Structure 1
């Protein structure tokens, strides 16, 4: 278990938590640089220990740089946070040295390099404007020419305050650019602040639901250093794959990883959700629970209805003309059971597209969940009345009786159709075509796409799947 580090800067509450994009740095071993870090932190009488950390928000570029000429060689971004003794972090006792560092930082940000030297002057004179690096500086007078009384003009030295102001402006600009990049990125902080972005990329109704799913999956996701993606990024990548049906190469570009890493991550997250999320959200309710929450329209039309079944097919990816000839076999068929309340309670494994609805109903395992007196409502005649009756239950087909009561049954069936339609609309991967690796990767008599269908139904149950049936 990793130690939870907190930034040592007074007033900074950043902590190392799962999924954070912040970096936390140890204090340098080099004595001189270490003292400069301690001075920048500006906590009177304080000394760091082995567990002391400084977060990346205190560096202009967002990370420490080991080049002594870089402004991020020493942390310098502290905002207006006060130190322990009440002074501001930028209040450096050696004002002259502060001017030197400010000027060096300005030249670095402008793409120039300042020669390092033992002198403590901001800019050493080298014989003229060109040598000094200051284009507006006047040339040094030649020998024999009259010199102005008083100290020699030193425009660069005189403008040290302007340099400090310019550095401060550049720091503000860097912060603004970092905030803009954060808002347009797919980080945890960006999604937490934008509910619409959560709905678009994940299909989930809020960041709270997304965070709850992450909490449930976290023990089952990788967190080793060999994987560049945090647990949050792993979950987000997989949800974007299901939600938008993006190609692996597209996701690889977005998250900065290899295509193979995307495929492994999607498979691992889907397996984790199939084993943890699905059992908690897709389950067969008890009869008492169904009766307590039965909608009024169902209570009047079909009070003993426990499930409405329907089938849908998803095309498989075609590779040659032979696939087009054998089109029925190049698809997967699923049977979905939906409770009258509108939540998915049963999902079958995928069957070949040419399998009949009756075969699928008899082999999927749904009949084993029925109790005597239960009513199963179907959209069309599945020719499985005898198999359902063997369980003491009854199969009814909406649209066969022709009366007012049957119209209510058809409304119930249409409601179930909306649930399935919303699931396919919310997660585009269910619309197909299914890529070969998802259909052929089989474990425990279940393909990866079988797990995908179950996971999508589980995620759909976390949302408002359709209009209330009242």
Structure 2
């Protein structure tokens, strides 16, 4: 055993440590400490040999240490280069994003100082648009794609958002939304005008459609103006209808044909000779909209839409309702203690009595206000063509 150990000692310069912990040599250079690197560890592992109860450690050569240091320095240089490239790419992306937002930002600033321009593109004056934006604002929203839920103080998706985060403010997105409604601009047109993608504009329009529906649906009861406020501002021409609460009528919007024959039949309107959505709308004597029902199938009868809309539940005793002949709902209004005023029916007679003719003319002359309201809806060009 001793002879074998002496032969090893002659062949390799070794440090023999008996019953002592092995202290690995370190190279404390300016750049790196090789004893902490994987490269040096592998070198030392190869140099370690056990002979009996003694352990020998072979020091790496100077050339190996220099090679290890050079490789580590090259890695550091490469990582610094990649980090610099990533930072430059981030700066370029931020500049590109700011440049793409510039057209919409400039357009928004122009609208804020021009009532006529704002009305043309959105249908609202500047102060009205700001009021609608403030009303529609929500704490947290995600793009369309998941089920929207309504929680106290916020409206958000029930799952995590997908895709990139929102780039534009809610006011800017609502501006594009009202441009879509008022001007009937195509999605591609809006996208090209403001350097956006058509898919982004489409998702944004769908998202705000859902949000605004939930927002206005939550205040539908408060939109129905109380009678004492109406009487306080009642126009002179309505003096004969002192207790008037609402003037109602139905309107229809042409829609695309469904692939289902059953739905085609339900949505087909003989009046429009087309598939339509039908809704009930009510206004005050001053022409302000006070009630709007949900959209229903075009073939639904006026009486049925009144029942489905929940309008009767909002009426109070003594309220006066002006309507057309098609609203045969006198039994419903009588149950609430309200009064229904509609033009008289001939009921097999050749003509109306003079009193009935006079009453019919007065009703028709005052019902014109709700028809004006429906006409104002037609100014939103998206309703002038077939909607999806």
TM-score (normalised: structure 1):
0.48
Q: Is the 8 A contact 1:399 1:409 kept in 2?
A: no
Are 2:302 and 2:326, in contact at CA under 8 Å, matched by a contact in 1? no
User: Aligned to 1:379, what secondary structure does the other structure show?
Assistant: coil
Once residues 184 and 248 of structure 2 are traced to their aligned partners in structure 1, the CA distance between those partners, rounded to angstroms, is 26
Q: Which residue, out of 192, 204, 207, partners 1:268?
A: 207
CA contact (8 A) 2:227 2:243 kept: no
User: What corresponds to 2:188 in structure 1?
Assistant: 249
Task: Name 1:363's counterpart in structure 2.
Answer: 308
- Once residues 317 and 216 of structure 2 are traced to their aligned partners in structure 1, the CA distance between those partners, rounded to angstroms, is 30
Moved more, 410-419 or 275-284: 275-284
Give the corresponding residue for 1:240: 179
1: CA distance, partners of 2:242 / 2:331: 21
Of residues 372, 382, 389 in structure 1, which corresponds to 2:317?
A: 372
Matches within 5 A, 1:388-467: 388-398=333-343, 402-425=356-379, 427-435=380-388
Distance 1:369 1:233 in 2: 36
In 1: Cα distance, 2:307 partner to 2:218 partner: 22
- The offset of 1:273, in angstroms, is 2.6
1:191 aligns with one of 111, 122, 125: 111
Matched, 1:210 2:129: yes
Q: Give the drift of 1:222.
A: 4.9
Of 332, 355, 358, the match for 1:387? 332
Partner of 1:294: 234
Shift of 1:214: 2.4
- Any conservation in 2 of the 1:373–1:394 contact (CA below 8 Å)? yes
What residue number does 1:72 align with? none
Q: Unmatched 5+ residue regions in structure 2?
A: 1-93, 143-160, 270-274, 346-354
Deviation at 1:277, TM superposition (A): 5.2
- Check conservation: 1:245, 1:429, Cα contact below 8 A: yes
> What is the CA–CA distance in structure 2 between the aligned matches of 1:195 and 1:388, rounded to whole Å?
42
2:257–2:264 CA contact under 8 A, matched in 1: no
Question: What SS does structure 2 have at the residue aligned with 1:395?
Answer: strand
- Structure 1 unaligned residues grouped into runs of 5+: 1-62, 66-177, 436-470
Structure 1 residue 362: Cα displacement: 1.8
Provide the secondary structure at the position in 2 that maps to 1:187.
Answer: helix
CA distance in 1, matches of 2:310, 2:260: 35
**C-alpha deviations, 1:40-72, integer Å up to 9, x for none?**
xxxxxxxxxxxxxxxxxxxxxxx979xxxxxxx
Deviations 1:208-260 (A, max 9, x none): 22223223333346599722333232011100111112222222222322222
Hey, which of these two has a bigger chunk of helix by percent?
A: 2
Secondary structure, counterpart of 1:219 in structure 2: coil
* Counterparts of 1:241 and 1:298, CA distance in 2: 37
Shift of 1:270: 2.5
- What is the match of residue 333 of structure 1? 278
Structure with bigger gyration radius: 2
Equivalent in 279, 302, 315 of residue 254 of structure 2: 315
2 CA distance for matches of 1:185 and 1:396?
A: 51
Q: Superposition pairs for residues 37-186 of structure 1, below 5 Å?
A: none
8 Å CA contact 1:398, 1:413 repeated in 2: no
Shift of 1:368: 0.6
Query: Aligned pairs, how many?
Result: 255
Deviations 1:389-435 (A, max 9, x none): 1222222214665444442321110121111111222x222334121
Structure 1 stretches of 4+ moved >4 Å: 220-225, 277-282, 319-327
Query: Given that residues 287 and 373 in structure 2 are in contact (C-alpha distance below 8 angstroms), is that contact kept between their aligned partners in structure 1?
Result: yes
Cα distance in 1 for partners of 2:244, 2:370 equals: 13
Q: Which residue of the partner structure matches residue 87 of structure 1?
A: none
How much has 1:377 moved relative to structure 2? Answer: 1.0
Structure-1 separation of matches of 2:95 and 2:203: 32
Supply the RMSD in Å over aligned alpha carbons. 3.3
Q: Is the 8 A contact 2:312 2:336 kept in 1?
A: yes
Secondary structure class of the residue paired with 1:337:
strand
Q: Give 1:349's aligned residue.
A: 294
